[in-house]
A and B are shown apart, each in its own frame.
Chain A
Amino acid sequence: MKHRSIHFFKDVFSSYAFLLPWLAGFFFLTLYPMGYSLYLSFTNFNVLQSPRWVGLRNYLIMFTGNAQFPRDERFLNSLGVTFRYVFLSVPLKLLFALAVAMLMNQKLRFIPFYRTLYYIPTLLGGSVAIAVLWRRIFSADGLVNLLLRTFFGVPNPPSWISDPRYALYTLVALAVWQFGSPMIIFLAGLKQIPQEYYEASSVDGAGKIRQFFAITLPGLSPIIFFNFVMQMISAFQVFTQAFIISGGSGGPLDSTMFYSLYLYLKGFAFAEMGYASAMAWFLLVIIAALTALAFKISGSLVTYGSGE
């Protein structure tokens, strides 16, 4: 057996001293709360009284209901709203980001300036101020309708945020508007693709469209994948905008009742913390499953260059 000196143990000890704040945080602010919320998800808990074990009831109410309690249709609706939002906003956002990044990936002057300008919506977009602005410009007598009436001659434009058919799409628009981060990442990625590939293929007679599918898209695929996963995870958790734009109600007619908004209302407005914990754990499962699925699909679609 190899003899380990006192020096070795001292070294390990002092290394762990640097990790101590994070380790303590990991156990007390992440791992333990995760376990605790898993436990709470099987209980009835309103903060004031101690949790009461109810088995799978919270989960049953979410999906099937039981003899005593009907199925929670509002929950299923919030799940649907969130899925629609995620799978509309994320692809659209990435599409815009890629298109603009390609437009900017040329030898042009002012590119750094343009890049800065295009980042501004992302810089500001998460704030309450912009959510307030959005709520106002998409209201019945807001800026959008003012423009539609005066410049496009639309006599009766819809009242976007108070119309259940359109309210969700104003939030999708707000998300797509903030395409700055993926755009900057795409722009950096495009610069990594060797210029010779394009030159060689144009000698072979390949057109721009062919080059896009044969060189640009495969070259960017790891970045597209990365952006997709990260944007998806954060889109599932959207809260501030939905809260401000609907005034905390998820309305009209629950059409903007996002998952995290419903979770917040259940946990903190109705004090059903057991149920809210079950929702939180189900969200974790969804995100984990979708991420795993994305990784699996990416195995066949994503090309990693030899340089990586």
Chain B
Amino acid sequence: MKMKRMRRRDIELVQKIVTHFFIITIGMGMLYPVAWLISASFKETSIIFTDPSLLPKTITFQNYIEGWKGIGIVNFGTFFKNSFLISFLCVAANLVFCSLTAYAFGRLKFPGRDFWFALMMLTLMLPSHVTTIPRYVIFRTLGWVDTILPLVVPRLFATDAFFIFLLVQFVRTIPKDLDESAVIDGCGKFSIYLRIIMPLMVPALITTMLFTFLWTWDDFFNHLLYLNSPQKYTVPMGLRLFLDASGISSWGPMFAMSVLSLVPCFVLFFSLQKYFIQGITTTGLKG
């Protein structure tokens, strides 16, 4: 009996070790390209493509210095500044307007609510292409092309249905008694939103902030449509310009700037990963 139990524990231990081994091996395979990119950005350009190793023999920062200069008059400082500005404005707008909308859908009772909510959910599945061209025409008529307005202003109208959905899910879990006692204390709808719902919604708001930042930071299509002059380019556009303008010789600087462009995403993810996981599991956010 004792023998048998021992053996079973041994088998379980071996099984565990094998599983760990598999998970780590597959994981390393998956992360190898990213690790290689980071390592290559510190290697001398001449050896980048003959060296598959992850540890550079000599570390050089030359690629970063070269890359930061960008092309001609515009350096990567400008691209980063533009990207941060747009991302910051979009995050702020989404936090305010998606939460207002979510409060209305998740908490208030009014005729037509379920109808509008169903329509909002439908827009989740709508391919953005059917609105791309008319929006371009509208923004062009307004003289907004080559400004950041077409990228930011739509956010003032809670156009990111994903976050409304995420926040509605969250609002519904907040106990109703809190509102009711606030009503007795004489609070109106807006002060309930501001004083009760918003503070309790913080975890979902952080998720909203993270994904809004990430998607705005990585957005390429809209930047390609609306930003024309290099002074207004964001980081993705800057990378693309760099890719087109520079020949085979500058893969080192190219990689260095690519790594830099990923740093904000890394920092946010590792400092707030709990909220990422929550956001993905509660709504099944796309990746």
Interface of A toward B, CB cutoff 8 Å = 11-12, 14-16, 18-19, 21-26, 28-30, 32-34, 36-37, 40, 47, 100, 103-104, 106, 108, 110, 114-130, 132-134, 136-137, 141-143, 146-147, 150, 177-178, 180-182, 184-185, 188, 223, 226-227, 230-231, 233-234, 236-237, 239-240, 243-244, 247, 260, 263-264, 267-268, 273, 276-277, 279-281, 283-284, 287-288, 291
- Additional 16 contacts, C-beta under 8 A, given A127-B217, A184-B280: A12-B110, A12-B111, A15-B108, A18-B189, A21-B157, A21-B158, A33-B138, A37-B130, A108-B16, A117-B30, A120-B30, A123-B276, A127-B236, A127-B265, A130-B262, A226-B284
Query: What chain A residues lie within 8 Å of B126 (beta carbons)?
Result: 30, 284
CA separation between A172 and B104, bound complex, in Å? Answer: 41
Do the beta carbons of B286 and A146 come within 8 Å of each other? no
Q: How far is the CB of B168 from chain A (nearest CB, A)?
A: 11
Could you list 11 examples of A-B contacts with CB < 8 Å?
A: A15-B189, A34-B131, A36-B134, A100-B23, A108-B16, A118-B30, A119-B269, A121-B34, A122-B287, A129-B37, A244-B220
Q: Which residues of B contact A106 (CB under 8 A)?
A: 16, 19
The answer on a CB contact under 8 Å between B284 and A21 is: no
Identify A133's interface contact among B37, B158, B276, CB under 8 A: B37
Nearest-CB distance from B249 to chain A (Å)?
Answer: 13
- Measured in the bound complex, the distance between the Cα atoms of B87 and A280 in whole Å is 27
- Contact call A150/B281, Cβ cutoff below 8 A: no
Contacts A34-B131, A36-B137: A15 and B120 contacting too (C-beta < 8 A)? Answer: no
Known contacts: A12-B111, A143-B36. The answer to whether A240 contacts B221 by CB under 8 A is yes
Known: A21-B101, A22-B101, A244-B240. A146 touches B137 (CB 8 A): no
Structural contact, B284 and A15, CB atoms closer than 8 A? no
In the complex the two chains form, is B140's CB within 8 Å of A121's CB? no
Give the distance in Å from the alpha carbon of A19 to the alpha carbon of B116 in the complex. Answer: 9
A155–B170 Cα distance when bound, in Å, is 57
Decide if B236 touches A114 in the complex (CB within 8 Å).
no
C-alpha gap A25/B262 in the complex (Å): 31
Report whether B135 and A240 are in contact in the complex, using a CB–CB cutoff of 8 Å.
Answer: no
Q: B123: CB under 8 A from chain A?
A: yes
User: What 6 A-B pairs have minimum CB-CB distances, sorted nearest first?
Assistant: A25-B157, A181-B287, A33-B134, A129-B258, A18-B104, A15-B110
CB atoms of B101 and A267 under 8 A apart: no
Contact among B157, B189, B269, B285 with A123 in the assembled complex (CB-CB below 8 Å)? B269
Question: Is chain A's binding surface mostly helix, strand, loop or mixed?
Answer: helix
* Interchain nearest-CB distance for A170 vs B (Å): 12
Bound-state Cα–Cα, A180 to B280, Å: 10
Question: Which label, helix, strand, loop or mixed, suits the secondary structure of the B interface?
Answer: helix
Instruction: Give the Cβ gap from A200 to chain B, nearest Cβ, in Å.
Output: 20
Question: Does B129 sit within 8 A of A, measured CB to CB?
Answer: yes
Whether A18 touches B108, Cβ cut-off 8 Å, given contacts A116-B273, A120-B31, A124-B34, is yes
Partner of A240, one of B36, B37, B220: B220
Rounded to whole angstroms, the CA-CA distance of A107 and B246 in the bound complex is 51
CB pair B100 A21 closer than 8 Å? yes
CB distance from B28 to the nearest CB of A (A): 9
Q: Which residues of A contact B225 (CB under 8 A)?
A: 268
When C-beta atoms are compared, the residue in chain A nearest to B138 turns out to be: A33
A29 with B131: in contact, given A123-B214, A124-B34 (CB under 8 Å)? yes
Which residues of the other chain, B, contact A142 by a CB distance below 8 angstroms? 49
Residue in contact with B104 in the complex, picked from A15, A124, A125, A283, CB distance below 8 Å: A15
Q: Which residues of A contact B72 (CB under 8 A)?
A: none
A156 CA / B123 CA spacing, docked (Å): 49
Residue from A118, A122, A133, A237 within 8 A of B129 (CB atoms): A237
Q: By the criterion CB–CB under 8 Å, are A263 and B129 in contact?
A: yes
Nearest CB in chain A to that of B99: its residue: A18
B277 surroundings in chain A (CB, below 8 A): 115, 184
From A40, A100, A120, A141, B26 is in contact (CB under 8 Å) with A100
A284 interface neighbour in B22, B130, B286, Cβ under 8 Å? B130
Give the nearest-CB partner of A244 in chain B. B240
Within the assembled complex, what's the spacing in Å between the Cα atoms of A219 and B125? Answer: 25
Q: Which residues of B contact A121 (CB under 8 A)?
A: 30-31, 34
Q: Are A33 and B34 in contact (CB under 8 A)?
A: no
Of B19, B104, B140, B261, which contacts A108 at CB under 8 A? B19
A296 to chain B, nearest CB (A): 16
Shortest beta-carbon distance from B41 to chain A in Å: 10
Q: Is B133 interfacial (CB-CB < 8 Å)?
A: yes
Complex Cα distance, B257 from A277, in Å, reads 36
Q: Mark B156-190, 1 if CB is under 8 A from A, else 0.
A: 11110000100000000000000000000000110
Known: A21-B156, A118-B30. A124 touches B138 (CB 8 A): no
Chain B: which residue is nearest A16 at the CB level? B110
**A32 to B37 CA separation, bound complex (whole angstroms):** 44
Question: In the complex, what residue of chain B is closest to A177 when comparing beta carbons?
Answer: B30
Report A-chain residues with C-beta under 8 Å of the C-beta of B189: 14-15, 18
